[in-house]
Chain A
Amino acid sequence: MEYKDYYAVLGVDKSASPDQIKQAYRRLARKYHPDVSKETNAEEKFKNVQEAYEVLKDPEKRRAYDELGSQWKAGQDFRPPPGWEKARTHFYTAGEGGDFGGEEDLGGFSDFFTHLFGRGRPGFERDTFTGFKHRGSDQHAKITISLEEAFNGTTKTFQLQVPEIDPATGRVQHQSRTIKVTIPAGTLPGQQLRLSHQGNPGVGGAQAGDLYLEIDVKPHPLFSLEGRDVYLTLPVTPWEAALGAEITVPTLGGKVGMKLAAGVQSGQKLRLKGRGMPGKPAAGDQYLIVQIKIPEAKTEEQRELYRKMAQMMPFNPRKDW
């Protein structure tokens, strides 16, 4: 297992006072809290900070940790010194960290922590207790689909590791379960589906928990989503913009013909009503953002054409300056 340098995680000195440790913890907890932070790996960093604080805030745990000596470096392969096995039972208290319990918790502490101090939190073991009934815990999973799949609806098959209780031995074993789920048309990114009784099994004949499946939608090269509305850049030529044109536009539901009015400008937003993501009470719209593309004048003849335009169409786009 890897050695963890808890002082480095909190960015404090080995001689830091309890107050300094508390302040460092609070600052970093704010910075990396997964509900607030936009940092990459915020969740991982937050867990590390919590774990470091769990040890350094407690004088006994801190002393025990310090006794490992200062020759260790973070990430180094760590083997506990003899005698630790006995000592750690001292820290094993069932009620400890009661606040942290629950499966919606951000996850347990590292092997390093668990080895030195035992499990700081009530863990999975309780599921093996017998003699009482309780509903299985919920599971969470995330699945990524394309925007087209989200628009049309799709069926996805995925594997899930589900702990199941062997009726013969009463032990928990992991079983791979294949789940096939239909994702309805018009599913938006971040939306959750609740799959009843597909979570962890209950104990003593109680119901299994639920599986919450979060839908993630891959970014699309052409389209963007804002709620149920779809955005698409519409590149047009100067003559199409000036004279109007009949053009064909891709939408998630297929190509549609549309009439471009004469005189549109770059950045103008055109609406195709009801061509966005399907849904209740109404489907979203598709917005086309006009972008006028100017052809490069490559030949002398083409340059002459631009000069002629300049003469025939006096126009000053900076007249308001």
Chain B
Amino acid sequence: MSKKELVVVVSHSQDASLTLEHVCEICSVSPDFVRELVDYVIVQPTGTSPQTWRFELSDLRRIRSAKRLQRDLGINIAGIAVLIEQLDEIKRLRQHLAILEKHFFRF
């Protein structure tokens, strides 16, 4: 175990635009899997062809989540699309409910 400590000041990017190849590498998925997710509008990259597609950081979470749902629960892509939309909706509703409870119903 090294005791040496490094201080690194790092810059970062919030809206890195990632290529298909990079996304596949980061998420350990195949290009075909990502193509299917795009077909079902689970992720929406900019660009018109797989070669020019650019993904956002927030897409990575969706791609990983889709992969896990397919692998662990055996859901197909169409099912994943429905499920992810429903989960997004539930998240929005929960947030909204929290606001109602905090600012409207508490007297």
- Interface stretch, picked from A29-37, A65-73, A123-131, A295-303, is A29-37
B68 to chain A, nearest CB (A): 6
Is the CB of A310 closer than 8 A to any CB of chain B? no
User: What residues of B have a CB within 8 angstroms of the CB of A29 in the complex?
Assistant: 72-73
Given known contacts A36-B83, A36-B87, A180-B8, A231 and B16 CB-to-CB distance under 8 angstroms: no
Query: Looking at chain A, what size class is its interface with the partner chain?
Result: 35 or more
Are A181 and B2 in contact, with the CB atoms below 8 A?
A: no
In the complex, whether A192 has a CB less than 8 A from a CB of chain B is yes
B25 touches A (CB below 8 Å): yes
Is A103's CB under 8 angstroms from B1's CB? no
Say if the beta carbon of A138 comes within 8 Å of chain B. Answer: yes
Encode contact with A along B62-97: 1 for CB under 8 Å, 0 otherwise: 001101110111000000000100010000000110
Nearest CB to that of A180 among chain B residues? B9
Contact partner of B4 (CB less than 8 A), chosen from A175, A180, A182, A195, is A175
* With known contacts A226-B95, A226-B96, A289-B103, A135–B6 Cβ distance under 8 A: no
Chain B contact surface mostly? helix
Supposing A176-B5, A180-B7 touch, asked if A232 and B26 sit within 8 A by C-beta, the answer is no
Instruction: Report the separation of the CA atoms of residues A17 and B95 in the bound assembly, to the nearest whole angstrom.
Output: 43
Contact B73 A33 (CB under 8 A): yes
User: Which chain B residue shows the least CB distance to A291?
Assistant: B107
Residue numbers in A under 8 Å from B103 (CB-CB): 224, 231-233, 289
In chain B, what residue has the closest Cβ to A178? B7
> Is A115's beta carbon under 8 Å from chain B?
no
Contacting B14 at CB < 8 Å: which of A99, A184, A226, A267? A184
Cα of A125 to Cα of B106 in the assembled complex, Å? 54
CB atoms of B12 and A194 under 8 A apart:
yes
Q: Mark B1-37, 1 if CB is under 8 A from A, else 0.
A: 1101111111111101000000001111000000000
Per-position contact with B for A136-168: 1 when CB-CB < 8 Å, else 0? 001000000000000000000000000010100
Task: Give per-residue flags for A45-68: 1 if the beta carbon is below 8 A from chain B beta carbons, else 0.
Answer: 010001000000000000000000
A32 nearest CB neighbor, chain B only: B72
A194–B96 Cα distance when bound, in Å, is 28
Q: Determine whether B58 belongs to the interface, using a CB cutoff of 8 Å to chain A.
A: yes
Chain B positions within 8 Å of A, measured between CB atoms, are 1-2, 4-14, 16, 25-28, 57-58, 60-61, 64-65, 67-69, 71-73, 83, 87, 95-96, 98-99, 102-104, 106-107
Query: Besides the contacts A106-B68, A196-B10, A224-B98, what 13 more A-B pairs have beta carbons closer than 8 Å?
Result: A50-B72, A138-B26, A173-B1, A175-B4, A178-B6, A179-B9, A179-B10, A180-B9, A181-B12, A191-B14, A193-B12, A198-B10, A291-B107
Identify 22 residue pairs between A and B in the complex whose beta-carbon atoms are under 8 Å apart, listed by A's number: A29-B72, A35-B87, A36-B83, A50-B72, A100-B71, A104-B64, A104-B67, A135-B25, A164-B2, A175-B6, A178-B8, A179-B8, A179-B9, A180-B7, A180-B10, A193-B13, A194-B14, A194-B16, A198-B10, A212-B57, A231-B103, A289-B103
Chain A to chain B: the 9 pairs with minimum beta-carbon distance, closest first: A102-B28, A289-B103, A193-B12, A180-B9, A35-B65, A178-B7, A233-B103, A195-B10, A195-B12
